[in-house]
Amino acid sequence: MKPSPHEDRTIVPLFDAMNRLPGGLMLVPLILGSVMGTFAMPALEIGSFTTALFKDGAMALIALLIFATGTHVTARTSGPVLAHAAVILTAKSLIPAGAVVLLGLVVGIDGVAGVSILALLVAIDNSNGGLWLAFTGRYGDKRDRGAYLASAINDGPFFSMLFLGMSGLAAIPGTLLLAAVVPFLLGMLVGNLDPKWRDIMRATPNIVIPFFAFGLGTGIDLGAVVKGGASGLVVGAIVAPFTGALVYFGYRLVLRRGNKSGLGFAAATTAGNAIATPAIVGAADPKFAPYVETATAQVAASALITAVLAPLLASWVLKREGGLTVVDEDGNLLDEESGADPSGNGGPPEAGAAEVGPGAGGTAPDGAADAGPGAGHGGSTAAPPSPDSGRTDGQART
């Protein structure tokens, strides 16, 4: 289709170029942010709106994305969302953390190959919720995006302190966990009371993901990544394939997601917030203090490396199994360039579909099946088959 003579001409296809990379809408700004944070942080600290948006705004923008996700989860779809979150939490956090603790009981807290038990545990028992939202927004569905709840629970020092048996565990208020899910719960409430909010929040992912990714990146010091050196590479190289495989098998064997099971590898990340956890643990138990500096560098390296490896592994597995497809809320294939249903069946998406994806731009024209805040221009769209369809995601039109 020829562009309208009045349509603005694209000089540099920045958006499309980012979307050609798995999770590119998050990954590219994340790396740019880490470069700026390492070499030009003063430029981001001049104050006012510049600092608020590019350095300090990540958490607020992620909270907005979480709220937008909640508006698309209805009472009818909350069960599958919780099931997916439970599988991810078990496979990404509980099983790997348990394995690290067993290793520690055998070799001691010094760990192996220069990687302390502290570093390995902190890198392995959490996940990058922003990257998960970005990737599943393009290739997953409302159940996958809603399962970010697993990241809300495993984020921070909670699991690390739990599995290390810290006495400071009792001092962690339950309100911290509640605070992580309040935006999601409020989004569910608003979306169920007034479905128009689902349409209003559709564009949220494409707007906020690049900005919060940049903000998160400013907190990753490339100097620390280099300092982590080979040992940091080892940590990241273990975390991505090991935990990704566990979540993959959870998706395939427990959730029966068929050719969409490769999404599990997108959870195989280390959260950027985890970089601060070794210091918190060291303060809670002085016997870990000697490991804090090295562990922090190794966790920083793992955060950056897994942010690259996890979406690449997930894309490779999805492509190999025929699941690297953009779908609408009902699991129907979408035309990746336009975000439109290739079958021509337009119409607004079913109420209650969760939409949070990276990678898509624009809004579907006049009621076209806009699969999510992300549909259009190679955009992120995703959603599962409706409960009435009788198909698993693995059986959805692929």
Which segment, 86-90, 286-290, 294-298, 391-395, is predicted with the most confidence on average? Answer: 86-90
pLDDT at 89 over 50: yes
pLDDT of residue 163: 77
pTM for the complete prediction?
0.62
pLDDT of residue 112: 86
- Is the model more confident about 251 or about 391? 251
Return the C-alpha torsion angle 243, 246, 251, 255, nearest 10: -130
Residue 114 exposed, middle or buried by CB count within 10 Å (0-12, 13-18, 19+):
middle
pLDDT of residue 94: 92
Residues 21, 213 contacting (CB under 8 angstroms): no
User: 333: which strand partners?
Assistant: 327
Task: Give pLDDT tens digits for 273-305.
Answer: 687 778 777 877 778 888 887 887 888 888 888
Structure tokens at 271: 């959260």
HSE-up of residue 368 (Cα within 13 Å, Cβ side)? 18
Distances (CA, A) of 152 to 80, 148, 182, 199: 17, 7, 10, 25
With H, G, I as helix, E, B as strand and everything else as coil, classify residue 333: strand
pLDDT of residue 96: 92
Residues 226, 76 contacting (CB under 8 angstroms): no
pLDDT at 372 over 70: no
Q: What number is the average pLDDT over the span 48-61?
A: 87
DSSP class of residue 3 equals P
Q: What number is the average pLDDT over the span 131-149?
A: 82
Complete DSSP assignment for 26-59: HHHHHHHHHHHHHH-HHHH-S-HHHHHHHTS-HH
Task: Give pLDDT tens digits for 147-196.
Answer: 877 877 776 666 787 777 643 433 445 566 577 678 888 988 998 899 89
pLDDT of residue 265: 95
Q: What number is the average pLDDT over the span 238-263?
A: 93
pLDDT at 93 over 60: yes
pLDDT of residue 327: 64
Q: Report the C-alpha gap between 297 and 119 in whole angstroms.
A: 9
Q: Report the C-alpha gap between 84 and 76 in whole angstroms.
A: 15
The owner of tokens 């992620």 is: 62
Residues 370, 363 contacting (CB under 8 angstroms): yes
Mean pLDDT of the residues in the chain: 75
